[in-house]
Amino acid sequence: MPYTARWIDEIEKNRFNEFMARHPKGHVLQTWEWGELKSRTGWHPWRLILEENGEIVAAVSILERKLPVVGIPIFYASRGPVLSWQDEKLFDALLAEVKSLAKKRGAIFLKVDPDVPSSEQELENYLRSCGFQSAETGKGFEGVQPKYVFRLDISPDEETLLKQMHQKTRYNVRLAQKKGVTIRVGTKEELPAFYQVLKETTERDHFLVRAYSYFEDMYELLHPAGLAEIFLAEYEGEIISGTLALIIGDKAWYLYGASSNEHRNVMPNYLIQWEMIRWAKSKGCTMYDFRGVPGKLTEDNPLYGLYRFKKGFNGEFTEFIGEWDLVYRPLVYYLWTHFEPVYSDVVKGIIGKIRHIGKSQSSQ
């Protein structure tokens, strides 16, 4: 029996999300609400389902955005599509539907970065046979989604999870408890406090952060659907650390983390991770994803401290298959892939200068 493919509207939002929640490869970045969030940042979401005997067997949320300067759209399926990757006929049917939409919209290419480990060599070979080409930039930590992560199986009991941690990590968790650090779920009214600590972190560690409105939109769209939660660490009545977690089905992700310049010696970041793990377990999760770490694991890497922090919780270092592009318009794709790195460097240079000027003015 052939598959029935349909582009759906909001009437089927819950059914779409339920499929994402129960599928082994379901991901929060493929949910309906995530598409709505990205629609507020210049993307347009399209949702496709494939059915067999009335049941959804594959789904994908495609984000469409016009490239700067040229004004031609691209397609991106963030951590998608969601389907059984071993079912080649199903994947072929899904790609055919996406290609049809791409032709109507004039899209240059479809980018995918599926939730699939790099060890699955057969899938890589199949992607190539379908016309996909690797879109790796050599900057595994700076891809659209991180290529390298730590993932922790949280199905064991809490005592076992603590025992399996690195000794120093376990010590710091208990030190924070002993010092009186407390962790609680934050509210929407406390988003400004979380964002303030996040800005402290970005200024200290020299990386960019999205505007406050993005986090406000994220909470407004994802939290009511049970897909996001904020956690705050307090010490002596002061918020000194915060995190933002995503969750769907039996999987949870640590998305953003922030820590104040004050009271870092009471180790709030260790305790807040442990409490997030406990929260994820209470929600029925069996996998906790610490998200991005650098691929270069030498101690001279500026991000090695981040790697060491996440590794201490005993997660499994996981390398994904990476970014792959299915090109619909080869000439335009060639021009863009040669122009985009130059464009990105120019934009980053401008942003860097603005940040430098802002710091100079604030210090006067």
Cβ atoms of 117 and 321 within 8 Å: the answer is yes
Sign for the pseudo-dihedral over CA of 202, 319, 274, 179: negative
Residues 24 and 80 in one domain: yes
Q: Does any domain span residue 146? A: no
Residues 174 and 124 in one domain: no
Residues 166 and 83 in one domain: no
How does pLDDT run along the chain (364 residues), one tens digit per residue?
A: 589 999 999 999 999 999 999 999 999 999 999 999 999 999 999 999 999 999 999 999 999 999 887 789 999 999 999 999 999 999 999 999 999 999 999 999 999 999 999 988 888 999 999 999 999 765 544 458 999 999 999 999 999 999 999 999 999 999 999 999 999 999 999 999 999 999 998 888 777 889 999 999 999 999 999 999 999 999 999 999 999 999 999 999 999 999 988 898 999 999 999 999 999 999 999 999 999 888 877 787 777 888 899 999 999 999 999 999 999 999 999 988 887 655 555 444 444 443 444 444 333 3
Give 297: exposed, middle or buried? Use CB within 10 Å, 0-12, 13-18, 19+: middle
Contacts 24+ apart (CB under 8 A), 161-166: 161/277, 161/314, 162/274, 164/314, 165/312, 165/313, 165/314, 166/311, 166/312, 166/313, 166/314
Q: Does any domain span residue 301? A: no
Instruction: Count structural domains, the chain.
Output: 2
Residues 9 and 135 in one domain: yes
Residues 166 and 215 in one domain: yes
Tell me the pTM.
0.90
Cβ atoms of 153 and 316 within 8 Å: the answer is yes
Range of the domain at 269: 155-285
DSSP secondary structure of 105-133: HT--EEEE--S-BTT-HHHHHHHHHTTEE
Residues 265 and 352 in one domain: no
Q: Does any domain span residue 269? A: yes
Q: Does any domain span residue 74? A: yes
Rounded CA-CA distance 51/230 in Å is 35
pLDDT digits (tens, 9 = 90+) for 166-210: 999 999 999 999 999 999 999 999 999 999 999 998 888 777 889
Q: Does any domain span residue 73? A: yes
Rounded CA-CA distance 36/38 in Å is 5
